[in-house]
Amino acid sequence: MERFLSDGGLEHHRSREDTLRHLEYWKSRVGEYGLVHITSELVGKERKFLADTPTHKGTKRSAATTNRYMASLSSLLTYAVRELKWIGENPCLHVMKLKESSGRDRVLSPEEIIRLLAACRQSKSPYLFCVVLIGFTTGARLGEILNLEWRHVDLENKLACLRETKNGRPRSIALADEVIAELKMLYNGRNPLKPLVFASKIAFGRIDIKKAWQVALERASIQDFHFHDIRHCFASLAASQGASNLELATAMGHRTLSMLQRYTHLDVQVTKKFSKQISEKLMQTQGESL
């Protein structure tokens, strides 16, 4: 592990902190073993121990989280195989990944969205309404929004460039007129010394909206809804307006269309409308041929 890190194994890694935490865990568990003794059988037993052991918060690790820990260990052992030639094969390759859940499927109704935005507008946080509105109208992730800097916002052309994204590829998002209006007010009252759009009032760096977000959810009487679920809402609303998978993948920053599948929840009425239109077109074509 120390050789892997000193050789820059995580130099350009987007999830560096998470991977370091995983590797420190594995160091505590198998660090005293010789590499030849880290077999697929041992890895399988250690994975079961990891999955069955509660986190520091007392909660059970999900299959997805366990798989992430395993992926970090696998990367380390692959390095030992390919770069160092210290072992002949990676034992993690013989341990099947745990089956992960299909993900959350929480989409708000139009009435719930209106209530939530109204609650955000009433928040003591001067940023919450604008942050949530950007989320609903662009599908951007919370981290992407909070990392946004003024130099990457074009108020005149109603565009913003997200430089720090999950997949490491910058992308631009269109800003609705309502968002522009909110941003202009924030711009007029900004501290010129702070580059972030949503800058902390008392320190340099990102703000934390967790408390304000929870208060808004309670005020709007909305349960079991996370900020990340806003991406589901955006995808569903955009799809209901006729957006293609390619357009949605581009807007949401997905590198593959398969990553988009969990976010699109087309309303049955929309599906029915397309089916009806296709049927009418086919029947019209058939009639003309006769």
pLDDT (tens digit per residue) in 80-132: 999 999 999 999 999 999 887 766 668 888 899 999 999 999 999 999 999 99
pLDDT value for 15: 75
pLDDT value, residue 100: 78
Whole-prediction pTM: 0.63
Average pLDDT taken over every residue of the chain:
84
Please report the pLDDT score of residue 178 as a whole number: 92
So what's the pLDDT on residue 165?
Answer: 66
Q: Where are the domains of the chain?
A: 2-94, 110-268
Nearest to 263 by CA among 273, 251, 274, 278: 251
For residue 253, is it left (φ>0), alpha (ψ between -120 and 50) or beta? left
- The dihedrals phi and psi of 11, each to the nearest 5 degrees, come to -60, -40
- CATH class given for the domain over 110-268: mainly alpha
85: left (phi over 0), alpha (psi -120 to 50) or beta: left
Give the span between the Cα atoms of 110 and 112, in whole angstroms: 5
The DSSP string of 65-95 is HHHHHHHHHHHHHHHHHHTS--SSS-GGGGS
Q: How far apart are the first and last CA of the chain?
A: 73
Confidence of residue 286 (pLDDT cuts 50, 70, 90): low
Highest mean pLDDT among 37-46, 102-111, 159-168: 37-46
**pLDDT-derived band of residue 241, with 50, 70 and 90 as boundaries?**
confident
C-alpha 252/C-alpha 141 separation (Å) is 8
Q: Which residues are catalytic?
A: 141, 166, 228, 231, 254, 263
Please state, in angstroms and rounded to a whole number, the distance separating the CA atoms of residues 96 and 47. 11
pLDDT exceeds 50 at position 248: yes
Distance CA 94, CA 83 (A): 20
| pLDDT tens readout for residues 253-277 | 755 545 555 544 444 444 455 546 6
Between 279 and 158, where is the model more confident?
158
Judge whether residue 164 has pLDDT over 50. yes
The secondary structure of residue 79, as a DSSP letter, is H
273: CB partners within 8 A, 6+ apart:
none
